[in-house]
């Protein structure tokens, strides 16, 4: 009785306790080492537990793989979203980001927050620069203008809202020192 009933049940019970004690989302091997050869229902139960553990491990490995893929997809989506809001030529935020910022400002206004300003800039004679010196020089002028605005308004978001048009949403120190 001890060899064919009690000892196999103890082994299965010990394996179940080890399985339960393992923590986290990891692959487990508590039942793999079971070696019960009784030729009856206990051996069938032991083999079933081993198969269950293999199946669970396969499922866990698949879930962990999908979780990694999901994390990678989220990172890619975040980076793509950031790129969608960035002007490729100047590196400042673009019209899409500006429109989103305006919606946020409208919400702030509705909530009573009115401490911000808007500065608008236009690069004079960009067409003349492009016509006389080429578009590469016009691009340099646009980038230089973006750099100047970003340096002057270092604490505020700057947006390129058109070909040669920029806007800065003045906040914090930039708002407080707007007159300067």
Task: Let me know the angle formed at the C-alpha of 161 by 157 and 167, rounded to the nearest 5 degrees.
Answer: 40
Q: Which positions ≥6 away from 88 have C-beta within 8 Å?
A: none
Contacts of 137 (CB under 8 A, 6+ apart): 129, 130
How many whole angstroms separate alpha carbon 31 and alpha carbon 47?
Answer: 9
- Distance separating alpha carbons of residues 96 and 103, to the nearest angstrom: 11
Residues annotated as part of the active site: 164
């Amino acid at each position: 009785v001890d060899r064919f009933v009690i000892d196999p049940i103890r082994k299965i019970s010990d394996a179940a306790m080890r399985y339960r004690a393992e923590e986290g989302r990891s692959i487990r091997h508590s039942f793999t080492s079971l070696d019960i050869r009784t030729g009856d229902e206990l051996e069938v139960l032991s083999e079933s537990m081993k198969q269950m553990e293999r199946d669970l491990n396969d499922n866990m490995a698949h879930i962990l793989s999908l979780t990694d893929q999901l994390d990678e997809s989220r990172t890619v989506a975040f980076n793509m979203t950031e790129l969608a809001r960035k002007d490729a030529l100047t590196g400042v935020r673009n019209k899409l980001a500006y429109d989103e910022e305006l919606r946020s400002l409208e919400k702030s206004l509705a909530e009573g927050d009115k401490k911000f300003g808007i500065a608008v800039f236009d690069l004079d004679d960009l067409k003349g620069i492009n016509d006389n010196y080429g578009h590469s020089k016009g691009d340099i002028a646009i980038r230089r203008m973006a750099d100047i605005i970003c340096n002057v308004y270092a604490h505020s978001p700057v947006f390129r809202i058109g070909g040669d048009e920029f806007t800065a949403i003045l906040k914090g120190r930039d708002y407080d020192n707007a007159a300067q």
